Amino acid sequence: MPQRILLCDDDIYILRAAEFKFQHAGYIVDTAGDGLEALEAIEKALPDLIITDCQMPRLDGLGLVQRLRDNPATADIPVLMLTAKGFELKHDELARTWNVLAVVAKPFSPRELLKRVNAILRMEDIEVNREKSLNL
């Protein structure tokens, strides 16, 4: 069963480039233009991973992550943060406080982002399969 990724960014070109790359890799991709649209998309279909921009109108990426972590249904969804301010965000602080797995600076390579996502989701599959085998 294909895994679902939610891409959240107010730059339509970034959304379309990443969406194209992930769809061709076999993922189901939902998109949102800001954090509020992302929350609406999450209500319709829970993603396996969220990639969100940091700076967006209405609800930014940090606000989105805070809301995700406050909700038990979404608290454990892996999140990658995209930002044009890649060097201004402290990854260790985001990881510790909000469990953000990585901060990816713009501009980024869609191919490299796909490799990172594949690695993260593959690790989750390994952990889920390990838990299932232990419960048998």
Distance CA 112, CA 25 (A): 13
Give per-residue pLDDT as tens, 48-68.
Answer: 999 999 999 999 999 999 999
Give per-residue pLDDT as tens, 110-129.
Answer: 889 999 999 988 865 544 44
Nearest in space to 16 (alpha carbons), one of 26, 29, 4: 29
Q: Are 50 and 6 in contact (CB under 8 A)?
A: yes
* Structure confidence at residue 103 (pLDDT): 87
Whether residue 136 is predicted with pLDDT greater than 70 in this model: the reply is no
**pLDDT band per the 50, 70, 90 thresholds, residue 74:** very high
Cα angle for residues 128, 131, 135 (degrees, 5° grid): 140
Backbone angles phi, psi at 6, to 5 degrees: -105, 120
Q: What is the CATH number of the domain that holds 22?
A: 3.40.50.2300
Backbone angles phi, psi at 100, to 5 degrees: -85, 125
Domain count, the chain: 1
Give per-residue pLDDT as tens, 80-115.
Answer: 999 886 556 677 878 888 889 988 888 888 889 999
Q: Are 23 and 114 in contact (CB under 8 A)?
A: no
Distance CA 98, CA 115 (A): 23
Mean pLDDT of 27-46: 97
Which domain covers residue 114, as residue numbers?
4-135
The answer to whether the bond into 107 is cis (omega within 30° of 0) is yes
